[in-house]
A and B are shown apart, each in its own frame.
Chain A
Amino acid sequence: MKTQASIALVALAVSVCLMSPAVPRAEEPPPPTPARPSSPLDAIRDDLLALRFESALAAIDAMLRDPALPASTRLDALVLRSQAHAASGALDAAEQDYREVLDLDPAFEPDPAVASRKAIARFEKARADRVGMLRIDLDPSDATVLVDGRPARRLADGTLPALAGSRTLRLERKGFDPLERTIDVQPGHETPFVVRLVPNVRSIVVRTEPDGVLVSVDDQPSGETARPKSGAPDAPAQLEIDDLAPGEHAITLRKPCYRTVRHRRMITVDLMDHAPLAIETVALDPVRSRLKLMGSIEGGEVRVDGNPAGTLPIEPLELCPGPRDVEVRAGGRVVWWARVELPEEGGLEVEVRPRPNLARVVAEWPRALSPFAESFSAAPPLPLPPGADLSSTHGWEAVQLPGGTDLAVTVTPAPGGGPADRGALYSPILRTVERIEGTLPDPSRPAWLESSTGMKLADSSVWGKAVVVEVAPGGPAAAANISVGDRVLAVGSSAVDGSRQAAAALRDAAPGSEIEVHVAGPQGAPRAVRVRTAPTPVIPVRHDGARSPAVVAAWAAADGAVAGGAAPSALANLALLLSGAGRHDLAADVLRRIPWGERKGVGAGTGAYLLGRELEFQGLEADARTAFLRARASLSTAPDDDGLEVAPAAADHLADLGVAPEPAAQPTGR
């Protein structure tokens, strides 16, 4: 009865033990407690709990006969068998089990809560026969120890059990050279073992004033310095950078609005002192760069990085060096934008002229097309929306273009890096798409203003070429004593052959500039005169046919937003383009907004005439009549200041609208 009672008691203890994880691992965190996995060992544990020792042992034996059994499972099975043997009083068998367990894990120790004293004595005997202890003095103490290539566990007292015999120890730690030693382990004995690893990297601590300094080592960002959370509040900001290889390193300290510091530092390792190398505190000097904005956007509001900075014309701005987004707004829109890189030394002068905002919707913007993009305020390229059909306005309208986009383009570069071979140009203003074949269109600013000299030229087969046939009284030519009958021989240093060539040369001179004109009178000798030209709007602008309406419209929108001499011409041209695109309502709106001011030639009457046409297109006859009546009462001209009077043309439009001519109201011709 006593025996049976003791067996039942042991079995109860075993069952308590079996309910817990099989083998506690020293220095390992407790495993998570998920639902128990279903495995052969679980079935064996169930047998043991039901005191079915024979079947449990048979199952364990069968499992251990499998040569492919993983080592950890094999270990668990052996531990289980040792507990079963010990609980059933088969101490010899249990001792044999302990030997096999120690072969796999020399640091194994049975749980005294479930093992009888006799069983533990058998274990101690087995361990004394097979395992010796290494007392390792390691520097650094957290180095990893491998015995015969396998990670070894140290016991709570710091000793490392190892199987007796010749063992190869390898010691490893990041930042140190690894070390291998062969050691003879005596069973049942403790062997001292002192090892000092040799460091091969060094950590450093960079300290700066102020904080927030971006530190780069060898051009690789390493982080930002920050004030220590503990310690004196005036302690310098610091950043620890781990594991720098010995040798010279380039350390760069950078912070916006401070002068960048670059220095080189020799990093060495210290066999004795493994603490990070503290580098002396570097104080960065505050620095400002001067940005001078030059140009003609009178009254334009300047913003730097989105913050208001003043109104043009503006004194040079004192700004922190580095990349800055500078924009100028006028007429309720961004008329110029650029990302500038302000140098720490000196400053930057930037020419600010209105220019359209370009959006590029491309997989990759070809380098060959850089000049096209540089003509505009070009935002970074937007990705091509998958499946978008950018050959249609519908496709473009589905693209989220940045606000204020005047022109958008997509291109597919030709193979081999050649010019773009196909693509599309989209005008959000005109709502048109132009196909690109081969090359992009001329991106340059159209000449909204040309030079007027107040003289007209004509060729004659009898009387010579480039004969002056009309001189406006009081005009630039008259002021330069050019008379009817003179012939123009050269403009500047370029000889001209005929009136068209001469007129083009005069027209192309900078408006308001003074040009030298060589003329000859009917009988007199050639003479040179200086003519100060007058600016004249041109509606529509002259071009050679290679111009894209989308590009011209974009420029017109940008230039039209800026108050100045060219704005009325730009806006009137924008209206013509809108009209050509069938957007007569918008064209009329633009024409109504044009600030013509008081000027002869192209002026308010021209605007009224163009407005009348747009209103007529829309069928707004009463409004059109009013506009044409204003044009008819004016002395305005088209397409330039020296052009035809619009009044007679307005009278013809009025006749279409049922208004009889009023000769008295018509101005006399020139």
Chain B
Amino acid sequence: MTRPRRTPALIVAIFVVTLLSKAAETAPVRDPEGAARQYRIARRLVAEGSADAAAALAKVFDLDPAGPLADDALVEQALLLPVATWPGDLGRIAAPEALRAAALLDRAIDGFPGGDRASEARVLRAFLRLEPLLGRDPARARLDLLGVATGAVDERWRSSARFGIAWIDERSGERERARSAYQRLAIDGATTPAGDRSRARLARMLLRDGKPGRAAALIEENAEEGGERETLALRDLAVRSTLRQAGVGGRWTGGTAVTAPSGLKGVAAAARLRDGGLLLADRRTGAVIEIEADGKTGARFALDGVQALTEDSMGRRFAAAGERLYRLLPSGPVAVAELGAFSPASAMTADGWGRLYLLDRHGERIGVLEPGAPSPAALAGVAKAPRLTGLVWDGARLVSLDARAKGLVEVLADGSLRPIAAVPCERPEALAADPAGEVAVLDSKADEVLLLGPDGQVRDRVSIRAAGLPRADTIVLGADGSLDLQAEGGGTTARFP
């Protein structure tokens, strides 16, 4: 019989005590009750729109970093930045805030993978990857969303993820895949926000497919009566196209409304806005003026030498002026890129991802400006292109006009051109497009505007003189299909509703 050895036991005891004391030193202080109190305060501040809300939420996390409210604090901080909760909300967040939001959401995803906000965090994180910022990564976003769509318990975020996937597919040219997903959401979640949004996207696709009647009816079925201006404009366009298709109306010749905003002396560029408004650049006064949907004069930006204006599908407004590209923010114009070889630009448009395309003044070079890039890159293959006039994104294609060949061409991703249709006019000079894929062409010789369908067939025709204008240099199409004409050097806009 041997005596028990006491020395190893003592060593183990000392080791355990040391470990515990170390743990006590390093473990964060937890105050669950304090966090709960602070969360109530933070929620109130969020509801009030207080500037202190973010700090209050941060304190919730600090008080109990592993507690049940920690993931709520992280996700809600990100929402304040603001992170898009639907793809339609993209474009509102700036790069620094997007970085902070990504960090917050990553912490929520990694730190609380089984938490009740995990699916939401994953969806929001995926949408962040779709923001028109440097580092945009639709492929990664799609993978993240697939994970939520096929695995999440919460139907709300499963639906959001599915909608996000369809939205990406639609922009990636996977139209049938997108259509299936939208249709599934419209059936399975008929009365949900995802269902409404899916119907609106389906309507847009049907409109392009030449089924405007069904598109109009689909929008009408949405649960929310009224809805966003953009959706209502789409419905108007669908009804217009339906009537035109049936030959019972919907034409521009129905009437003209002429507006002459005060202080506007010479229009150099114009762009229609998603909310029904109009953006005009006045070269003589060196200003960009917003005309709101109801005709009132809205924001005014001081900016000289504007050659082109555009608003992308996310509502971001850009002006090409001199050698720079400016983003028009409520606080004023902010230079975001150098135009370089594409200055001065003769036309500018944006695709569904927020990429900007610029046509140089000779109509020979097309530049593409990726979100966040300092300057446009030339599309390969266009260097030897024929002289092009105008550049528009028709919702699915980048379209330009070969003035010499008198034909519409599609500018492909590799810069090559693909003829779409011949343009039956004498001197085609300007282009505009609507969400139905219709393209309006200004014929300066015949002083008329033609509306061509995606197949190149003439769907409408209107005389410039009918509007009381001697001539027109600029044409823009609204989301509702209405046509605006402006003459360079004049301050008048004629609208064919």
Chain B residue contacts of A638, Cβ below 8 A: 187
Bound form: Cα–Cα A645–B186 in Å: 10
What's the minimum C-beta distance from B182 to chain A, rounded to whole angstroms? 8
B213 at the A/B interface (Cβ < 8 Å)? yes
Contact in complex: A655, B177 (CB < 8 Å) = yes
Q: Assuming A461-B232, A484-B242, A644-B183, is B248 touching A522 (CB within 8 A)?
A: yes
Q: Enumerate A276-312 residues with CB–CB distance to B below 8 Å.
A: none
A469 at the A/B interface (Cβ < 8 Å)? yes
Q: Assuming A460-B235, A670-B214, is B184 touching A652 (CB within 8 A)?
A: yes
Bound form: Cα–Cα A460–B238 in Å: 9
A649 at the A/B interface (Cβ < 8 Å)? yes
Q: Assuming A463-B236, A655-B180, is B220 touching A499 (CB within 8 A)?
A: yes
B306 at the A/B interface (Cβ < 8 Å)? no
Bound form: Cα–Cα A256–B218 in Å: 63
Contact of A469 among B177, B232, B239, B497 (CB under 8 A): B239
Q: Assuming A456-B217, A463-B250, A649-B183, is B242 touching A469 (CB within 8 A)?
A: yes
Q: Assuming A469-B212, A649-B180, A661-B180, is B219 touching A458 (CB within 8 A)?
A: yes
Task: Bin the interface of chain B by size.
Answer: 35 or more
A500 at the A/B interface (Cβ < 8 Å)? yes
Contact in complex: B211, A656 (CB < 8 Å) = no
B455 at the A/B interface (Cβ < 8 Å)? no
B216 at the A/B interface (Cβ < 8 Å)? yes
Contact of B239 among A467, A639, A655 (CB under 8 A): A467
Bound form: Cα–Cα A663–B174 in Å: 13
Most buried by B among A470, A500, A521: A470
A411 at the A/B interface (Cβ < 8 Å)? no
A202 at the A/B interface (Cβ < 8 Å)? no
B249 at the A/B interface (Cβ < 8 Å)? yes
Q: Enumerate A626-670 residues with CB–CB distance to B below 8 Å.
A: 638-639, 643-646, 648-649, 651-653, 655-656, 661, 663, 669-670
Bound form: Cα–Cα A130–B63 in Å: 114
Bound form: Cα–Cα A320–B179 in Å: 65
Q: Mark B149-169, 1 if CB is under 8 A from A, else 0.
A: 110000000000000000000
A613 at the A/B interface (Cβ < 8 Å)? yes
Contact in complex: B183, A645 (CB < 8 Å) = yes
Task: Bin the interface of chain A by size.
Answer: 35 or more
A208 at the A/B interface (Cβ < 8 Å)? no
Chain B residue contacts of A655, Cβ below 8 A: 177, 180
Q: Assuming A645-B183, A669-B211, is B217 touching A462 (CB within 8 A)?
A: no
Contact in complex: B238, A485 (CB < 8 Å) = no
Bound form: Cα–Cα A613–B236 in Å: 35
Who on chain B is nearest to A521 by CB?
A: B248
Contact of B188 among A461, A503, A613 (CB under 8 A): A613
Chain B residue contacts of A651, Cβ below 8 A: 180
What's the minimum C-beta distance from B280 to chain A, rounded to whole angstroms? 22
Bound form: Cα–Cα A63–B184 in Å: 107
Chain A residue contacts of B426, Cβ below 8 A: none
Q: Mark B469-490, 1 if CB is under 8 A from A, else 0.
A: 0000000000010100000000
What's the minimum C-beta distance from B121 to chain A, rounded to whole angstroms? 22
A483 at the A/B interface (Cβ < 8 Å)? yes
Contact in complex: B184, A649 (CB < 8 Å) = yes
Contact in complex: B180, A648 (CB < 8 Å) = yes
Contact in complex: A458, B246 (CB < 8 Å) = no
Contact in complex: B184, A458 (CB < 8 Å) = no
Chain A residue contacts of B242, Cβ below 8 A: 458, 467, 469-470, 484-485
Contact in complex: B238, A469 (CB < 8 Å) = yes
A457 at the A/B interface (Cβ < 8 Å)? yes
A100 at the A/B interface (Cβ < 8 Å)? no
Contact in complex: B240, A456 (CB < 8 Å) = no
Contact of B217 among A469, A609, A661 (CB under 8 A): A469
Contact in complex: B239, A458 (CB < 8 Å) = yes
Q: Enumerate B188-220 residues with CB–CB distance to A below 8 Å.
A: 188, 190, 202, 209, 211-214, 216-220
Q: Is the interface of B mostly helix, strand, loop or mixed?
A: helix
What's the minimum C-beta distance from B339 to chain A, rounded to whole angstroms? 37
What's the minimum C-beta distance from B199 to chain A, rounded to whole angstroms? 9
Bound form: Cα–Cα A651–B176 in Å: 10
Chain B residue contacts of A463, Cβ below 8 A: 236, 239-240, 243, 249-250
A459 at the A/B interface (Cβ < 8 Å)? yes
Q: Mark A76-115, 1 if CB is under 8 A from B, else 0.
A: 0000000000000000000000000000000000000000
Bound form: Cα–Cα A350–B283 in Å: 84
Bound form: Cα–Cα A644–B212 in Å: 15
Q: Mark A499-533, 1 if CB is under 8 A from B, else 0.
A: 11001000000000000000001100000000000
Contact of B184 among A503, A653, A670 (CB under 8 A): A653
Most buried by B among A459, A460, A651, A670: A460
B48 at the A/B interface (Cβ < 8 Å)? no
Chain B residue contacts of A483, Cβ below 8 A: 246, 248
Bound form: Cα–Cα A125–B439 in Å: 149
Q: Enumerate A459-481 residues with CB–CB distance to B below 8 Å.
A: 459-463, 467, 469-470
What's the minimum C-beta distance from B169 to chain A, rounded to whole angstroms? 10
Contact in complex: A639, B250 (CB < 8 Å) = no
Who on chain A is nearest to B250 by CB?
A: A463
Bound form: Cα–Cα A462–B239 in Å: 9
Bound form: Cα–Cα A483–B243 in Å: 10
Q: Assuming A459-B235, A644-B186, is B217 touching A470 (CB within 8 A)?
A: yes
Q: Assuming A463-B236, A638-B187, A655-B177, is B246 touching A484 (CB within 8 A)?
A: yes
Bound form: Cα–Cα A133–B245 in Å: 130
B414 at the A/B interface (Cβ < 8 Å)? no
Bound form: Cα–Cα A669–B179 in Å: 11
Chain A residue contacts of B186, Cβ below 8 A: 644, 649
Contact of A522 among B149, B202, B235, B249 (CB under 8 A): B249
B181 at the A/B interface (Cβ < 8 Å)? yes
Chain A residue contacts of B25, Cβ below 8 A: none
Q: Assuming A463-B240, A500-B225, A522-B248, is B213 touching A470 (CB within 8 A)?
A: yes
What's the minimum C-beta distance from A173 to chain B, rounded to whole angstroms? 84
Q: Mark A211-250, 1 if CB is under 8 A from B, else 0.
A: 0000000000000000000000000000000000000000
Contact in complex: B235, A456 (CB < 8 Å) = no
Chain B residue contacts of A461, Cβ below 8 A: 232, 236, 480
Q: Assuming A522-B243, A644-B183, A670-B211, is B248 touching A462 (CB within 8 A)?
A: no
Contact in complex: B214, A456 (CB < 8 Å) = yes
Bound form: Cα–Cα A670–B214 in Å: 9
Contact in complex: B187, A484 (CB < 8 Å) = no
Contact in complex: A646, B187 (CB < 8 Å) = yes
Contact in complex: A457, B180 (CB < 8 Å) = no
Chain B residue contacts of A521, Cβ below 8 A: 248
Chain A residue contacts of B184, Cβ below 8 A: 648-649, 652-653
Bound form: Cα–Cα A551–B239 in Å: 40
Chain B residue contacts of A456, Cβ below 8 A: 213-214, 216-217, 220
Chain B residue contacts of A460, Cβ below 8 A: 216, 235-236, 239-240
Who on chain A is nearest to B162 by CB?
A: A652
Q: Enumerate B255-273 residues with CB–CB distance to A below 8 Å.
A: none
Chain A residue contacts of B216, Cβ below 8 A: 456, 458, 460, 467, 469-470
Who on chain A is nearest to B179 by CB?
A: A648
Bound form: Cα–Cα A205–B240 in Å: 94
Q: Mark A437-468, 1 if CB is under 8 A from B, else 0.
A: 00000000000000000001111111100010
Contact in complex: B176, A661 (CB < 8 Å) = yes
What's the minimum C-beta distance from B147 to chain A, rounded to whole angstroms? 12
What's the minimum C-beta distance from A613 to chain B, rounded to whole angstroms? 7
Chain A residue contacts of B254, Cβ below 8 A: 462
Contact in complex: B213, A462 (CB < 8 Å) = no
Extra inter-chain contacts (14) besides given A456-B214, A499-B220, CB under 8 Å: A457-B217, A461-B236, A462-B497, A467-B216, A467-B243, A469-B238, A484-B243, A484-B245, A644-B186, A648-B179, A648-B180, A652-B181, A652-B183, A661-B180
The 7 nearest A-B residue pairs measured at CB: A485-B248, A456-B217, A458-B216, A470-B213, A649-B184, A469-B213, A460-B239
5 A-B pairs with CB atoms under 8 Å apart are A462-B239, A469-B214, A469-B217, A469-B239, A661-B180
